[in-house]
Chain A
Amino acid sequence: MEGSWYYYKYRRFIKWLGLYLALAGPGIIVMVADNDAGGITTYAATGAKFGFNLIWFLILLGPVAYVVQEMTVRLGAVTKRGHAEAIFDAFGSFWGWFSLIDLGILDFLTMVTEFIGMTAALKIFGVPPILTVIGVSILMITIFMHGRYWTWEKVVLLFCGLNLIYVPAILLIHPDLSDVTKGLIPSIPISGFTGDFFFFFMANIGTTIAPWMIFFQQSSVVDKGMTEKDISFGKFDTAVGAFLTIVVAISCVILTGTLLFKPGGIDIESAAQAAIAIKGSSPIVGFALAIGLFDAGLLGAMCISLASSWAMGEVFGWAHSINNKVSEAPMFYVFYFLSLIFAGIVVIIPGAPLVLITLFVQVVAVTLLPAALVFLLLLLNNEEMMGKYKNTLMQNILGFLIVFTIIIVSTLYALSVIFPEMFK
Chain B
Amino acid sequence: MSGDSIKSDPEKRKMIDYVDDRYAKDRVSYVLRGWRKAINDINKKYSKPRLKMTPLVRFSLFALRLYLIMLVVILSYKFYTMVR
Residues on B with C-beta less than 8 A from A407 are 67
Besides A91-B61, A367-B71, A415-B74, 14 more A-B contacts (Cβ < 8 Å) are A89-B50, A92-B46, A93-B46, A93-B47, A316-B42, A367-B68, A370-B67, A378-B57, A379-B51, A381-B56, A382-B51, A382-B52, A385-B50, A407-B67
Interface string of A5-23 (1 = CB under 8 A from B): 0000000000000000000
The minimal Cβ–Cβ distance linking B48 to chain A, given in whole angstroms, is 7
Q: Sort chain B's interface into a size bin.
A: 20 to 34
The minimal Cβ–Cβ distance linking B71 to chain A, given in whole angstroms, is 6
**Contact residues of A between 166 and 207, Cβ < 8 Å to B:** none
- Residues of B at the A interface (CB closer than 8 Å) are 38, 42-43, 45-52, 56-57, 60-61, 63-64, 67-68, 71, 74-75, 78
Main secondary structure of the interface of A (DSSP, over half): helix
Residues on B with C-beta less than 8 A from A90 are 49-51
Please give the number of chain A residues whose Cβ is less than 8 angstroms from any Cβ of chain B in the complex: 27
Interface string of A399-420 (1 = CB under 8 A from B): 0000000010000000100110
- Residues of A at the B interface (CB closer than 8 Å) are 88-93, 95-96, 315-317, 363, 366-367, 370-371, 374, 378-379, 381-382, 384-385, 407, 415, 418-419
Q: Are A371 and B64 closer than 8 Å at their CB atoms?
A: yes
Q: Are B64 and A370 closer than 8 Å at their CB atoms?
A: yes
| CA of A316 to CA of B39, assembled, Å | 8
The minimal Cβ–Cβ distance linking A169 to chain B, given in whole angstroms, is 40
Residues on B with C-beta less than 8 A from A366 are 71
Q: Are A419 and B67 closer than 8 Å at their CB atoms?
A: no
Nearest to B78 among chain A residues (CB) is A418
A–B Cβ pairs within 8 angstroms, 19 of them: A89-B50, A90-B49, A90-B51, A91-B49, A91-B51, A92-B46, A92-B49, A93-B46, A93-B47, A96-B46, A316-B38, A317-B38, A367-B71, A370-B67, A371-B68, A378-B56, A381-B56, A382-B51, A415-B74
Residues on A with C-beta less than 8 A from B68 are 367, 371
Q: Are A92 and B71 closer than 8 Å at their CB atoms?
A: no
Residues on A with C-beta less than 8 A from B57 are 378
Q: Which residue of A91, A93, A379, A415 contacts B42 across the interface (Cβ within 8 Å)?
A: A93
Q: Which residue of B38, B52, B61, B75 contacts A363 across the interface (Cβ within 8 Å)?
A: B75
The minimal Cβ–Cβ distance linking A91 to chain B, given in whole angstroms, is 5
Q: Which residue of B38, B42, B61 contacts A95 across the interface (Cβ within 8 Å)?
A: B61
Residues on A with C-beta less than 8 A from B60 are 374, 378
Q: Are A93 and B43 closer than 8 Å at their CB atoms?
A: yes
| CA of A89 to CA of B45, assembled, Å | 8
Residues on A with C-beta less than 8 A from B52 are 382, 384
| CA of A118 to CA of B49, assembled, Å | 42
| CA of A374 to CA of B67, assembled, Å | 12
Q: Are B46 and A418 closer than 8 Å at their CB atoms?
A: no
The minimal Cβ–Cβ distance linking A87 to chain B, given in whole angstroms, is 9
| CA of A164 to CA of B60, assembled, Å | 39
Residues on A with C-beta less than 8 A from B78 are 418-419
| CA of A385 to CA of B50, assembled, Å | 10
Residues on B with C-beta less than 8 A from A315 are 42
Q: Are A89 and B46 closer than 8 Å at their CB atoms?
A: yes
Residues on B with C-beta less than 8 A from A363 are 75
Nearest to A316 among chain B residues (CB) is B38
| CA of A91 to CA of B58, assembled, Å | 10
